[in-house]
Amino acid sequence: MDEDYSLISGWMISIWRAMELSGLDFKLACSELKIDRSAFNNPESRTAAKNTIKILEYCNDKLNRHDFSLVVAEQFHPNIFHALGYAMMSSQSLQSALTYIVQYKKVVSNTCTLSVVECDNRLIFRMNICRYIKSNELVLPYVAVELFIATIVKFSRELTGSSLNPKKVVFSFPKPEYGVEYLADYFKCDVEFNALNTAITFDIIQAQNIVMTSNPLITQMHEIMLENFMSRLDKDDLKHAVKSKIFELLPLGSPSQKVVAQSLGFSLRNMQRKLNKQGTSYKYILEKTRKELTFGYMQQFHLTYTEISYLVGFSCTANFNRVFRKWTGMTPSCYRNSLK
């Protein structure tokens, strides 16, 4: 069903601002297009993907233009992506920020899959659009994909500085019949069509540079919020609920599988079976969570190694040092010195 594909309603904030700048009435448009605006008051609400598509096409038609999606992208603000936007803005680099949106893509939309890969000194951010099962048609048309890609580029410039330009942008759509010179003007790079996947290519050095807004403490706080949000958003995806519970219990010591299972309303065996079905395990989630938290805490130089070891659930610093050396091949002090 169409309504199975949705976007976080924060997208409508950008659309509303862009319409206001363009002299269009957002309320009137929603009325004419029969879009219920009441849900937009809730920052965690979802809107059907078709609503965003309808309003983008409506605006292009009213303005007799084709580039309204770029006007919308320019209105981007981190709160549009809920806690994900702020986690991305406080990330260490553009690469880590893009990795966050890949990991928590469902917060933004369930209309596509995303990936980030390194290749030949390039960082490639790929988008693969879902298709309806019955018709095999793409869930998102070109105008919506153009908006998403332009928004990612806008965000990338906000994070790293306005001088950042992609190396190349490609779309998995035929080239539109109308002129698309506005795309090269906006992206400031080559733009191609008929590609296998829609993608943005960045220079790897620019993508890995540490950014001024980097703040590991803020990133961790928002990651905890994201795991909690994801567990509410997709109740069938147990791993987010498990990770959220681990975040909550780690400062009290390493939580056992049984304790986490019971706190989530599962028997131990049932939780293990569900996680196995999702291609993961409690042990893997626990170690991954500990590792991510540890590397974040190591960048907070006011925290001692003893404090970090307790925050990530180790009963003594010696055990923490041993596991840290296994993760990195370095002692905590050597690792922290390398950060400095």
Condensed to tens digits (0 to 9), the pLDDT of residues 102-120 reads 988 988 899 999 999 999 8
pLDDT in the model for residue 316: 85
Residue with tokens 């993608």: 199
pLDDT over 90 at 167, yes or no: yes
Domains of the chain: 2-208 (3.90.1520.10), 235-339 (1.10.10.60)
- Arithmetic mean of pLDDT, 62-89: 92
Binning pLDDT at 50, 70 and 90, where does residue 1 land?
A: very low
User: What is residue 161's predicted lDDT score, i.e. its pLDDT?
Assistant: 79
User: What pLDDT is attached to residue 2?
Assistant: 47
Mean pLDDT of 194-204: 96
Local confidence band at 302 (pLDDT 50, 70, 90 cut-offs): confident
| pLDDT score of 61 more than 90 | yes
Residue 249: the pLDDT is 86
What is the percentage of the chain residues whose pLDDT exceeds 70?
Answer: 98
- Longest Cα separation, the chain: 68
Residue range 145-163: mean pLDDT, rounded: 92
At residue 183's C-alpha, the angle toward residues 182 and 186, to 5°, is 85
- Residue 85 · residue 78 · CB < 8 Å: yes
Q: Which tens digit of pLDDT belongs to each residue from 228-285?
A: 887 777 777 788 889 888 888 888 888 899 999 988 888 999 999 999 998 999 999 9
CA angle 7, 11, 16 (to 5 degrees): 140
Mean pLDDT of the chain: 90
Please state, in angstroms and rounded to a whole number, the distance separating the CA atoms of residues 104 and 297. 21
Q: Where are the beta strands (DSSP E) in 51-108?
A: none
Better pLDDT: 43 or 265? 265
Rounded Cα gap, residues 59 and 54, in angstroms = 9
pLDDT at position 211: 86
Identity of the amino acid at 209? N
Q: CA 270, CA 272: separation in Å to the nearest integer?
A: 5
Helix axis angle, 282-298 relative to 317-328, nearest 10°? 90
Report the candidate in 111, 28, 97, 104 with the shortest Cα–Cα distance to residue 62: 28
Length of the chain: 340
DSSP 263-315: HTT--HHHHHHHHHHTT--HHHHHHHHHHHHHHHHHT-TTS-HHHHHHHTT-S
Q: Where residue 147 falls among pLDDT bands split at 50, 70, 90?
A: very high
Answer yes or no: is pLDDT of 290 > 70: yes
Average pLDDT over residues 134-142: 92
pLDDT at 248: 84
Residue 89 half-sphere exposure, CB side, CA atoms within 13 Å?
16
**Model pLDDT for residues 172-194, shown as the tens digit of each residue:** 999 999 999 999 999 999 999 99
| Token couple for 72 | 């919308």
In the 8-state DSSP scheme, what is residue 168?
E
> For residue 79, which of 114, 51, 44, 52 has the smallest C-alpha distance?
44
| Distance between CA atoms of residues 83 and 67, nearest Å | 28
- Indicate the pTM of the whole model: 0.80
65 backbone φψ class: left, alpha, beta (φ>0; ψ -120 to 50): beta
- Classify residue 219 by burial, with Cβ atoms within 10 Å: 0-12, 13-18, 19+: buried
Region of poorest pLDDT, from 8-22, 30-44, 78-92: 30-44
The pLDDT of residue 43 is 66
Q: Give the confidence band of 44 by pLDDT, cuts at 50, 70, 90.
A: confident
